[in-house]
Amino acid sequence: MLLAIDVGNTRIKTAVFEQNTFVDYSVFTKKEFNEKVSFILNQYPKISSIVVASVGNLDKNDFLAFENKAKILFINNEVKFPFTNLYETPNTLGIDRMVLATGAVLQFPMQNRLVIDAGTCITYDFIDENDNYLGGAISPGIRLRYESLHQFTAKLPLLTKTNPKSCIGNSTNESIHSGVVNGLTNEIDGFIDYYKSLNANFIIILTGGDAEFLAMRLKNTIFANSNFLLESLNQTFQYNQND
């Protein structure tokens, strides 16, 4: 059994896998990290390996306490990836984006793929049909947009994500919801239209904490898979076992 751990900038997500079967899912904060991981390891004594992708503030040392329970693969840019990295600064590319690209290549072979991860930030990653990783974009995620409007102004309230009633917001709250939610869906549809103009044939994977909320609001039809990063971690692990 494998425990996959995704340390994002907002939350930690974990999954237990028995080969390719998703057995268990948890989500928690950094504060709860030690307690939750210990709990999962006790609950599933068959876990023999842990695979970690971290872009948040947990590093390799934070996992040392679990080394006597399971073997740990901490993903960094020295592990094997099934794509050619054409990013100009490969050493600063987010590990989560590399893991997502791995999942896209292994699950959807020989196709152009666009991965959109709607988490703390929205990341866009494009991997072409020849398995070249080209890059994409980084923009603020939904919560970040609401929080920054509040934090960097004197008058704007802090709101939580809500379906806007209209594009034309007729109150402060409705204007904010329209700006954040309609702004982001227009951004995503705009990027998708740009990729379509380059090549009509590509698949789109939408994941992250806001994937389901966004999927139903996009002009383009996309199926959300909130677990794509955890599934991709399992695949990255397996890919590195087959030497």
Ligand X SMILES: CC(C)(COP(=O)(O)O)[C@@H](O)C(=O)NCCC(=O)O
Binding-site ranges for ligand ADP (CB under 6 A): 8-11, 119-120, 141-143, 161, 208-210
Q: Judged by CB under 5 A, does residue 210 bind K ion?
A: no
Question: Phi first, then psi: what are they for 130, rounded to 5°?
Answer: -95, 15
Give the tokens for residue 204: 């789109």
Give the tokens for residue 28: 């928690």
In the complex with ligand X, the residue whose CB is nearer, 144 or 215, is: 144
Least distance between ligand ADP and beta carbon 194 (Å): 23
In the complex with K ion, the residue whose CB is nearer, 115 or 181, is: 115
From CA 22, how far away is CA 19, in angstroms rounded?
8
Question: Phi first, then psi: what are they for 45, rounded to 5°?
Answer: -65, -15
CB 78 within 8 A of CB 104: no
Instruction: Please check if 168 is assigned to a binding site.
Output: no
E strand or H helix that includes residue 188: helix 183-198
Tokens 């939750």 -> residue: 36
24 catalytic per annotation: no
- Specify which residues 18 forms β-bridges with: 21
Nearest CA among 205, 199, 196 for reference residue 226: 205
From CA 40, how far away is CA 28, in angstroms rounded?
12
Instruction: Please check if 94 is assigned to a binding site.
Output: yes
Catalytic residue among 24, 59, 62, 96: 96
Least distance between ligand ADP and beta carbon 172 (Å): 20
From CA 201, how far away is CA 236, in angstroms rounded?
25
Given K ion, ligand X, ligand ADP, none, residue 196, with its beta carbon under 5 to 8 Å by kind, binds: none
Question: Phi first, then psi: what are they for 131, rounded to 5°?
Answer: 65, 35
Instruction: Please check if 6 is assigned to a binding site.
Output: yes
Where on the chain is the footprint of ligand X (CB under 6 A)? 8-9, 55, 92-94, 96-97, 117, 119-121, 123, 138
Binding mask 14-53 for K ion (x = CB under 5 A): ----------------------------------------
Instruction: Please check if 96 is assigned to a binding site.
Output: yes
In the complex with ligand X, the residue whose CB is nearer, 117 or 231, is: 117
Binding mask 97-126 for K ion (x = CB under 5 A): --------------------x-x-x-x---
Residue numbers in the known binding site are 6-13, 87, 94-97, 117, 120, 172
Active site residues: 96
